[in-house]
């Protein structure tokens, strides 16, 4: 018998407290689901149980694999019932359960039956469910029905098939693309929603075919699109066409009239979409912009918050590029400052700050002050950033803007907000000299009551740099010295350094600073005492008014000029002993292969140029490094450096990779080594290279690595001579040779005596691709035609059976080591032929262009036609040789 889901209760007072799902439990509901197996189905009861299951799922509850399977099998039994309401629930339930591939088969036949049913609604729902749970194989079976459904006269069936198509396009694009004729027909449908869905699908199918999209837009902009939603889509596609054709067509902008016409559409959604599209046009003129701004201005005073938000958001963006165009809206915008929706208010303020003129700044600041107290930090940060830009734009207004910033600095707020304010004040002090002294005093007042250590230390550091250069540096001392009394050790240490800077830079203050620093000698923190001692001993003069030497200033406050990571590592490895730490022993080369990254699977080694402290580009960095080594200094200009090639497996004792540096007549191997054993110190590290399989190469120099402590990468080099200008290739076997010394883990000291040892590394190859630089061209066709056919060489090759066309294309690209142009390295799925364009520079600085035409010959065999053009026919031949021997 059916149980009512909801208890009928006459007492309506406790309505709010009563939930029909009160105390619902997954286990109990799963038990109840057994009712689906009853021979005499009770549709009402079954619907209630499904509702409960849906409630659980919609609350974020998950079913285990076994539970889901059990429920799924039970639900499939419900197909026996003819009850319409229950059937509708069953469809939803199957979609929610999304059964696995092996379970789907149970329900396929029932759904297929529904899909071909005479009842339209069964058809529509079955299509949706099938498409949700289907895989590629099943899809080919039902494809015929889906194509029919797209052009079904019932709009619900057509929409169901079209929306299915949108989803299936992600997983089975090759199948859905075959439906374009039917979809094209559906775009002409009289039913508004069918047209909307068909347009979306058709565009997705053809989005890579510029001409087809252009044609679609041209035809639809002339005709009538029925639903506002479809009209919005059309506006978006139109802007895309305009963007893409902007470079090729001169004169009037195509389709602008259509966009402008949409500004008069009856649906707000369409008006807004058109206005936004116009504002985002490349190089939009004021004449084009004006009608769009006018409708957006009307939206600003709309009673609907969503419209106000949309309008102010768009105008905010326009204000970045065309502030003058937005000034007309300023009055409406000002009234939005008091908008209840804080997002709207913030956007209005930041827009006004961008468009306002100098005379309106004070009035605006007054309004913002009232507004700041009741918005969240994230909005406040946006406002602070906008005020910073405004101040840089109108430096004469620095007084009121700086006052505003200092006032909000005193109010409550989180770290990010306070940091944004402090950063802004610092930038203003740097850029506006007149703002310096007031700005510094604001910062001083802030650190008197600052709860963030990070900000306090940053401000103290900044005060140390800027304070001594002011007219009266002594007035800052009180604020700084207060920190020594009141703050934690980190801030105290920073304050000591700042005091010392004042002492070093302002000679008249030195005696008084010495008195203060001496007091810091009794601090209870080591670092604070150490700093005070260091400064007292190095500043000199014993507290007298004497000038501090430049070398002392440089020593104390100058930049270290070595990568901090290296310094940190060296300090960690330094063993306290009689011998003091030598800063010159810190390697200046930027770490090439941090241990953590080496261990992370799939992560590429970062190379020399990656760390922030690193030089501007990898090649420059390598060139600098190699030229600093006398043995390689006369090798000439570096042609190419390869990406690092790993010579060891991940997580081995010693991690070694190699970079191949190609010169005209030489090759240098740079072995980047890392010792991953804390108990070992390696010394005199070299790589013994056997070049017996590289006949054209002769070893000319080797530069060993003196010492390789734990986790501190170092480099050793081996150089070879090779015939000048030719792409000599060969195989090299490598053996790492070193003296290993045991390190006592408790003291970190290495034993005096070491043992010579060797470690086998993987082989290394110099290949033809090492002699070609990847250099792209912006327009391949032009470059190809300019190069001319004088040195052209064309030939055909059979590449044999290959996994796929894409695999063959990639193999040839890798073999040649050239730059793919115009995205031609990507092979569309299921293509039978493909053209790939490559460009590069061959050793000797000879430009080379390559056109590869691939075709499938039989089921797997790939044939390739290779056309090479270069400035030198011997280079064209060389490229053919590389391919022929590859």
DSSP letter at 19? -
Shortest Cβ 215–another protein spacing (Å): 22
Report how far residue 176's alpha carbon sits from residue 183's, in angstroms, rounded to the nearest whole number: 10
Question: Which CB sits closer to another protein, 347 or 409?
Answer: 347
Shortest Cβ 122–another protein spacing (Å): 7
DSSP code per residue over 761-797: ---EEE-GGGGEEE---S-HHHHHHHH-STT-EEEEE
Report how far residue 548's alpha carbon sits from residue 506's, in angstroms, rounded to the nearest whole number: 9
Question: Which CB sits closer to another protein, 344 or 768?
Answer: 344
How many helices (H) and strands (E) the chain has is answered by: 37, 17
Report how far residue 28's alpha carbon sits from residue 33's, in angstroms, rounded to the nearest whole number: 9
Tokens of 56: 């659980």
- Please identify which residue in the block is written with the tokens 């000439």: 636
Question: Which CB sits closer to another protein, 228 or 467?
Answer: 228
Question: Which CB sits closer to another protein, 85 or 576?
Answer: 85
Q: What is the 3-state secondary structure (H, E, C) of 635-653?
A: CCCEEEECCCEECCCCCCC
Shortest Cβ 12–another protein spacing (Å): 9
The CA-based diameter of the chain, rounded to the nearest angstrom, is 106
Question: Which CB sits closer to another protein, 169 or 815?
Answer: 169
How many other β-carbons are positioned within 10 Å of the β-carbon of residue 855? 16
Neighbouring-strand partners of residue 759: 736
Question: Which CB sits closer to another protein, 146 or 837?
Answer: 146
DSSP letter at 581? P
DSSP code per residue over 296-355: HHHHHT-S-HHHHHHHHHHHHHHHHH-HHHHGGGHHHHHHGGG-SSHHHHHHHHHHHHHH
Report how far residue 426's alpha carbon sits from residue 458's, in angstroms, rounded to the nearest whole number: 10
Question: Which CB sits closer to another protein, 52 or 834?
Answer: 52
H-run or E-run covering 498: helix 489-505
Shortest Cβ 139–another protein spacing (Å): 16
Question: Which CB sits closer to another protein, 21 or 555?
Answer: 21
Shortest Cβ 222–another protein spacing (Å): 23
Shortest Cβ 309–another protein spacing (Å): 4
Helices (H), 172-304: 173-176, 180-187, 192-206, 210-222, 228-245, 256-262, 268-279, 286-300
Report how far residue 148's alpha carbon sits from residue 683's, in angstroms, rounded to the nearest whole number: 76
Shortest Cβ 831–another protein spacing (Å): 29
Shortest Cβ 55–another protein spacing (Å): 6
Report how far residue 370's alpha carbon sits from residue 382's, in angstroms, rounded to the nearest whole number: 16
Question: Which CB sits closer to another protein, 132 or 529?
Answer: 132
Tokens of 635: 């090798």
Question: Which CB sits closer to another protein, 92 or 794?
Answer: 92
Shortest Cβ 389–another protein spacing (Å): 21
Shortest Cβ 87–another protein spacing (Å): 7
49 Cβ neighbours under 8 A, 6+ residues apart: 29, 32, 33, 35, 36
Question: Which CB sits closer to another protein, 146 or 809?
Answer: 146
Shortest Cβ 705–another protein spacing (Å): 45
Question: Which CB sits closer to another protein, 158 or 621?
Answer: 158
Question: Which CB sits closer to another protein, 347 or 493?
Answer: 347
Please give the distance of CA 778 from its chain centroid, rounded to a whole number. 25
Would you put residue 788 in left (φ > 0), alpha (ψ -120 to 50) or beta? left
Shortest Cβ 372–another protein spacing (Å): 17
Shortest Cβ 22–another protein spacing (Å): 9
Question: Which CB sits closer to another protein, 67 or 721?
Answer: 67
Question: Which CB sits closer to another protein, 124 or 505?
Answer: 124
- Please identify which residue in the block is written with the tokens 């259509």: 258
- Please identify which residue in the block is written with the tokens 């600098």: 624
Please give the distance of CA 557 from its chain centroid, rounded to a whole number. 37
Residue 73: φ, ψ to 5°: -60, -40
Shortest Cβ 13–another protein spacing (Å): 12
Question: Which CB sits closer to another protein, 59 or 109?
Answer: 59
Can you tell me whether residue 151 is helix, strand or coil?
coil
Q: How far is CA 323 from CA 330, 347, 364, 588, in A?
A: 11, 14, 16, 48
Tokens of 789: 């056919």
Shortest Cβ 560–another protein spacing (Å): 38
Question: Which CB sits closer to another protein, 17 or 102?
Answer: 17
Shortest Cβ 277–another protein spacing (Å): 12
Shortest Cβ 170–another protein spacing (Å): 10
Query: For residue 882, with 0-12 CB atoms within 10 Å meaning exposed, 13-18 middle and 19 or more buried, which class applies?
Result: buried
Instruction: Catalog residues that contact another protein under the rule CB under 8 A.
Output: 5-6, 15-16, 18-21, 47-48, 50-51, 54-55, 58-60, 84-85, 87-89, 91-92, 95, 119-122, 124-125, 128, 132, 154-156, 159-160, 163, 166-167, 190-193, 197, 229, 232-233, 236, 268-269, 272-273, 304-307, 309-310, 313, 341, 343-344
Own/partner pairs, 165-172, CB within 8 angstroms, 24+ separation: 165/201, 166/197, 166/200, 166/201, 166/204, 167/131, 167/132, 168/131, 168/134, 168/139, 169/201, 169/204, 169/205, 171/136, 172/136, 172/139
Shortest Cβ 682–another protein spacing (Å): 43
Neighbouring-strand partners of residue 661: 641, 668
Question: Which CB sits closer to another protein, 18 or 581?
Answer: 18
Report how far residue 303's alpha carbon sits from residue 2's, in angstroms, rounded to the nearest whole number: 49
The CA-based dihedral angle spanning residues 601, 603, 607, 610, taken in that order and rounded to the nearest 10 degrees: -130
């Amino acid at each position: 018998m059916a149980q009512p889901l909801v208890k009928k209760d006459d007492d309506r007072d406790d309505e709010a407290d009563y939930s029909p799902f009160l105390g619902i439990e997954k286990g109990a509901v799963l038990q109840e689901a057994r009712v689906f197996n009853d021979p005499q189905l009770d549709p009402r009861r079954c619907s209630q149980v499904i509702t409960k299951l849906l409630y659980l799922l919609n609350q974020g509850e998950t079913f285990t694999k076994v539970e889901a399977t059990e429920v799924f099998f039970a639900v499939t039994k419900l197909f026996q019932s003819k009850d319409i309401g229950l059937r509708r629930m069953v469809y939803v339930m199957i979609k929610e359960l999304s059964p696995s591939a092996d379970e789907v088969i149970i329900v396929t036949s029932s759904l297929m039956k529904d899909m071909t049913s005479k009842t339209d609604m069964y058809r529509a729902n079955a299509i949706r469910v099938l498409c949700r749970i289907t895989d590629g194989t099943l899809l080919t079976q039902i494809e015929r029905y889906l194509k029919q459904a797209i052009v079904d006269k019932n709009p619900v069936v057509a929409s169901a098939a079209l929306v299915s198509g949108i989803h299936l396009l992600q997983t089975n694009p090759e199948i859905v693309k075959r439906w374009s004729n039917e979809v094209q027909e559906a775009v002409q449908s009289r039913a508004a929603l069918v047209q909307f869905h068909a347009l979306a699908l058709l565009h997705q199918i053809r989005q890579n075919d510029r001409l087809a999209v252009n044609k679609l837009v041209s035809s639809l902009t002339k005709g009538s699109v029925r639903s506002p939603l479809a009209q919005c889509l059309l506006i978006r596609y139109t802007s895309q066409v305009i963007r893409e054709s902007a470079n090729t067509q001169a004169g009037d902008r195509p389709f602008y009239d259509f966009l402008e016409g949409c500004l008069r559409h009856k649906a707000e959604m369409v008006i807004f979409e058109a206005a936004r599209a116009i504002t985002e046009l490349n190089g939009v003129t004021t004449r084009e912009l004006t009608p769009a701004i006018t409708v957006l201005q009307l939206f600003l005073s709309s009673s609907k918050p969503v419209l106000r938000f949309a309008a102010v958001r768009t105008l905010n963006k326009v204000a970045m590029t065309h502030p003058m165009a937005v000034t007309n809206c300023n009055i409406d915008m000002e009234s939005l400052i008091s908008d209840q929706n804080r997002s709207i208010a913030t956007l209005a303020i930041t827009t006004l700050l961008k468009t306002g003129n100098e005379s309106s700044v004070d009035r605006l600041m007054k309004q913002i002050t009232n507004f700041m107290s009741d918005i969240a930090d994230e909005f406040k940060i946006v406002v602070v950033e906008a005020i910073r830009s405004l101040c840089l734009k109108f430096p004469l207004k620095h007084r009121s803007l700086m006052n505003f910033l200092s006032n909000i600095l005193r109010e409550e707020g989180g770290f990010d907000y306070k940091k944004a304010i402090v950063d802004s004040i610092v930038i203003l002090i740097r850029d506006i000299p007149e703002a310096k002294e007031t700005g510094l005093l604001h910062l001083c007042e802030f650190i008197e009551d600052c709860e963030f250590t990070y900000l306090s230390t940053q401000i103290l550091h900044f005060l140390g740099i800027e304070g001594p250069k002011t007219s009266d540096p002594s007035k800052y001392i009180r604020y700084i010295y207060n920190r020594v009394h009141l703050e934690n050790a980190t801030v105290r240490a920073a304050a000591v350094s700042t005091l010392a800077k004042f002492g070093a830079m302002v000679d008249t203050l030195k005696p008084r600073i010495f008195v203060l620093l001496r007091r810091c000698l009794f601090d209870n923190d080591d670092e604070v005492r150490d700093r005070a001692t260091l400064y007292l001993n190095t500043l000199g003069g014993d507290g007298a008014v004497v000038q501090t030497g430049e070398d002392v200033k440089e020593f104390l406050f100058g930049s270290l000029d070595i990568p901090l990571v290296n310094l940190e590592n060296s300090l960690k490895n330094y063993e306290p002993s009689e011998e003091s730490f030598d800063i010159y022993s810190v390697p200046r080369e930027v770490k090439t292969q941090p241990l953590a990254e080496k261990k992370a699977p799939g992560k590429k080694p970062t190379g020399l140029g990656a760390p922030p402290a690193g030089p501007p580009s990898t090649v420059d960095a390598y060139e600098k490094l190699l030229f600093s080594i006398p043995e390689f200094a006369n090798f000439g200009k570096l042609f190419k450096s390869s990406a690092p090639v790993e010579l060891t497996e991940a997580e081995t004792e010693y991690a070694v990779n190699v970079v191949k540096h190609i010169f005209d007549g030489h090759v240098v191997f740079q072995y980047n080594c890392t010792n991953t054993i804390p108990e070992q110190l390696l010394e005199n590290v070299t790589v013994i290279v056997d070049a017996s399989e590289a006949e054209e190469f002769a070893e000319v120099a080797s530069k060993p690595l003196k010492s390789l402590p734990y986790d501190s990468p170092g480099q050793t080099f081996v150089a070879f001579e090779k015939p000048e200008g030719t792409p000599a290739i060969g195989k090299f076997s490598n053996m790492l040779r070193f003296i290993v010394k045991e390190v006592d883990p408790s003291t970190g000291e290495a034993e005096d005596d070491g043992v010579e040892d060797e470690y086998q590394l993987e082989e290394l190859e110099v290949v033809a691709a090492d002699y070609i630089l990847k250099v792209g061209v912006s327009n391949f066709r032009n470059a190809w035609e300019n190069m001319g056919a004088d040195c052209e060489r064309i030939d055909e090759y059979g590449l044999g059976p290959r996994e796929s066309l894409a695999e063959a294309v990639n193999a040839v690209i890798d073999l040649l080591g050239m730059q793919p142009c115009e995205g031609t390295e990507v092979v569309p799925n299921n293509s039978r032929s493909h053209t790939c364009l490559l460009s590069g520079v061959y050793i000797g600085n000879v430009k080379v262009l390559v056109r590869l035409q691939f075709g499938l010959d039989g089921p797997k065999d790939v044939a390739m036609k290779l056309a090479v053009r270069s400035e030198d026919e011997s280079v064209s031949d060389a490229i053919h040789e590389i391919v022929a021997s590859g």
